Every structure is written in structure tokens, then in C-alpha cells.
Amino acid sequence: MDEYLLKLNNVSPVERIPIIQKALEDESIVHYGRLLISPKLEELAQTEEYSSILRQVEIFCYGTLSDYNADAALPQLTPLQTEKLKHLTLISLASNAKVLEYDIAKKELGFDDDQKVEDLVINSTYKKLISARLDQQRRIIEVNYVIGRDVRREDLEDIYNKLEKWAQDCDQVLGDISSEIDVANKTASDKKAQDFEFTKALQTLRTEYTTAASTTAHSASGDNPGTIARNDSQYSSNEYQREEQRTGNAADI
């Protein structure tokens, strides 16, 4: 756009017309706000002969193809300008609806079949003006992304209100997330404390059990010091009784 604005400063009013028309054909330009507020354009629009040029640029800023066709006072579009305005119209349609019906697009774009709608969407995708998926069976365009257009001054307040609402919603979501994090942290802290108490209690039980077992073993050993506990069953056996008798007889001799 800088190139065209610079040229407007160095030519006569009549010579500005082809420069402006050329700018409206330029495929690399999507936003015409700077051209619309150009002093050279405003000066040109004040003349009766070229007063419609301001409205023409205004439609390329904010309007659609149907807006242009509805105004008979506007100059006839060149093929390149028509194609350009179709792309801009598609951008506006996609900005207002995440799901765009083929029939609505055909009406606004002046198309008579679905293929032309699909071709324009594909071409706009290559130009990175829009990102969308074509659903031919349902005859809808599912919009993922669309580039913005110029903004009217009277629309700024509405945009501000929407951004303010969006910021408030973000704050609410962040607050909810923060609360959930606090709950999760408290749950984790409580679980850690419970695990600590359980481990501590388990260690206490182990210590008490070890102490009790040691005390019992010591008491049993103290009742018969220096002796080895015998198994009464072995002294009641026949072998033991015969050995006891033999030992006694030998003592008598």
C-alpha cells in the first residue's frame, strides 16, 4: 500500500484514479483503511465527477460484492477487482459464521453452482486468507481461521466490549483453574500427611513387637539357667528305661 500512497502524492487529481483502481486489483493487499483516510482520496472525492471513488474504496474496506452491486452509481469493476471483492466477501461471510452454508455463499458471491464456491474457498486458502474444510455432502464450509478486514470507527466500541467480555471470561477460567489447583495441592498434602502418620504408626508397632519378643525370650532363659530343656517324651521311651535299669544294676555290683 505504501507504493500507491506515495504515487498519489506526486500526481494530479485525474491521474490518481488509475492508481486507486490498480490498488483495488492488487492481490497482495487486503486492507484498504490507509487508502480510505488518505487526504488525496478525500480531496478527489470532493469533486462531483469522482465522488463515487470514496464509496468504492469504502466497500473494499468493509463491504461485500452484493453491497457493490446494489449501488448503481459506482464504477464498473474490472475482472481483477471483481475477483478481489469476492475474496473479501468470503472473508466477511466466514468471519460471521463458523459454519457457512453453500447456498448463502452462492447468493452473496453471485455464483450459480457449488463448484465455484469450492474453488473460491480453495483459492482463498492458498492465499492464506482463510482456513476451512469443505463438507460436500452437507454442503457447508467449516471455518477454522479467517483473516480480519478493516474496521469501521462505529464498530470499535462493539469490538472493545467483546474483548472486555473475553478478558472477563479468561479471568473467570483462570480463577477456576487456580481453585482446582489449590484443591489438588491440599489433597496431595493431606495424603502425604496420612502416609507419614501410617508409616510412623507401623514403625512403632514393629518396635513394640521386637521389644516384646526379646523380653519373652530372656524370661524363658532365666527360669533354667545352665540347663538345656529336655524333651520329656524321650525319657519315657523303652530304650531309656532299659538303660536306666542297666546303670542301676551295675552300681549294685
Q: In the chain, how many domains are there? A: 2
- Predicted local confidence at residue 235, as pLDDT: 47
The residue-averaged pLDDT of 125-138 equals: 93
Task: Provide the residue count of the chain.
Answer: 253
- Tell the burial category of 5 from Cβ atoms under 10 Å away from its Cβ (0-12, 13-18, 19+): middle
CA separation for the pair 130, 185 (Å, rounded): 43
| pLDDT digit string, tens, across residues 68-122 | 999 888 989 999 999 999 999 999 999 988 999 999 999 999 999 999 999 999 9
For residues 88 and 57, membership in a common domain is answered with no
The gap from C-alpha 116 to its chain's centroid, in whole angstroms, comes to 33
In a domain, 185, yes or no: no
Q: Is 139 helix (H, G, I), strand (E, B) or coil?
A: coil
Domain boundary among 164, 190, 211: 164
Residue with more model confidence, 137 or 156: 137
Does residue 107 lie within any of the structural domains? yes
Q: Which of 5-9, 22-26, 70-74 has the highest mean pLDDT?
A: 22-26
- pLDDT band per the 50, 70, 90 thresholds, residue 200: confident
- Domain of residue 139, CATH code: 1.10.10.10
Tell me what pLDDT residue 107 has. 92
Residue 56 and residue 85 in one domain: no
* 2 belongs to a structural domain: yes
Q: Is residue 40 part of a domain?
A: yes
Could you tell me if 129 and 84 are in contact, meaning their C-beta atoms sit under 8 angstroms apart? no
Helix axes 79-96, 114-126, angle to 10 degrees: 90
83 and 55 in one domain?
no
Residues 38 and 81 occupy one common structural domain: no
Q: Is 109 inside any structural domain?
A: yes
Instruction: List the beta bridge partners of residue 100.
Output: 141
Distance CA 77, CA 54 (A): 14
Rounded average pLDDT over 228-249: 52
Domain holding 123, by residue range, is 77-164
Within the chain, what is the greatest distance between any pair of CA atoms?
164
Out of 140, 164, 188, a domain closes at 164
Last residue of a domain, one of 113, 140, 164: 164
| Residue 39 is assigned to a structural domain of this protein | yes
